[in-house]
Amino acid sequence: MIVFTTIASVWLFAPPVTGVAAHVADSNVNSINAKVGTTKDPHLERPKHDDIRRLIALYNEDRRPVCPCGLIGHSRTRRVIGGTLADIEAYPYAVSIRKFLSNGQPYPYCGGTVITERHVVTASHCLLNKQSQDVTIEVGRTNITGPEKPSDPLIRRVVRIERHEHYDQPSYNNDIAVLTLDAPLLFGRTSRPACLPPYGSDVQDGTSGEVVGWGRIAFKGKKSDTLQNVTLPVVNRTECQRPLRHRISTNMLCAGGLEERDACVGDSGGPFIVKYQSAPLLVGVVSFGKKCGLANVYGVYTRVGLYTRFIYEQTKEASCKPGILSMRDYRAVGNEATWISNKVNQWNHS
């Protein structure tokens, strides 16, 4: 990652290819020269008050315990160009998504986020032309190509892929999906879920968030074998779309614009995290951008707050329900996100 440096190129990995196959590998990278303008997605608008209340009622009637999303580890990190080499204990919700190559070997190409012991959130575009048997996930390992230790890693097969029904490939609207795993993850220091934002919530411009992944460290560079993270500011959608020349809908958010600091190819589907006190809050999913790490050019993320209900409805098989922050606890003040309660795992608006 992290020098997340094509108009609307999606940030996923294709395996190394040569010859004719090289032209096919980039077939999922689209050039879009749409009329500039912020627009509402016709299939998704900010939920009405009654819709929010219905989800609150469903959530409060759900007797499952809340997944322990408010707990994270602490780890020392060291700097690299444009980002930071990270330890998985500091980002235990980070997921490497892998597809099988023709030789049967798994190949990491996208990222994701743990939300329950059976579910991972990622980007829909990572799963184009994929069936559940084509994909596995790996959590709990900082270096995804290094020798495995007894505690590393947790590898799970995918038994169901639920892409948002209104995902649109040319525009990347509704670029979100939920994976159901074949067996539960064992939560511990290196495997733990992130929390979800309130249904309908947005992120204040200027808020700092972190992108985490194993993507390329330069646009034309090699992918990183080691987990990395970078801190980026959220920016106004109108400002974001000018250099991209791509419609930025209200179900997207933008971040970055800093030279050599970005997500990049291979980070697609991974998390954009804002901290609620010490708890990781999944507010964005890495979607697309223009090259990587260009000054005043921004990365685009799926705005998770508009999909909280969609995500929740896919998690019925889990033994715990996703942790969803209360809107009362979530307040945007000034140029940073501020919350006013310690009740991370309660979502009671009454």
132 is catalytic: no
For the record, the structure tokens of 278 come out as 């010490």
Q: Is the pLDDT of residue 185 over 50?
A: yes
The model's pLDDT over 129-176, given as tens digits with 9 standing for 90+, comes to 999 999 999 988 776 666 555 455 689 999 999 999 999 988 899 999
Which is more confident, 16 or 115? 115
pLDDT at 77: 38
**Model pLDDT, residue 51:** 86
Rounded average pLDDT over 225-253: 84
Quick one: pLDDT band at residue 337, thresholds 50, 70, 90? very low
* Catalytic residue check, 125: yes
> Is 268 an annotated catalytic residue?
yes
Instruction: Give the CB-side neighbour count of residue 246, counting CA atoms within 13 A.
Output: 27
Catalytic residue among 125, 152, 171, 202: 125
In contact, 60 and 326? CB cutoff 8 Å: no
Check pLDDT > 70 for residue 105.
yes
pLDDT digits (tens, 9 = 90+) for 17-60: 222 222 222 222 222 222 233 445 555 567 888 888 898 899 99
Domain limits, the chain:
1-17+32-350
Minimal CA–CA distance to 295: which of 261, 254, 265, 272? 261
Given 87, 175, 262, 267, which residue is catalytic? 175
User: What are the tens digits of pLDDT across the range 277-317?
Assistant: 778 999 999 998 776 656 677 889 999 999 999 999 999 99
* pTM higher than 0.85: no
H or E element, residue 237? helix 237-244
Cβ contact 227:196 at 8 Å: no
Summary mean pLDDT of the chain? 74
Q: Of the residues 96, 171, 268, 287, which is catalytic?
A: 268
* 1-17+32-350 is a CATH 3.40.50.2300 domain: no
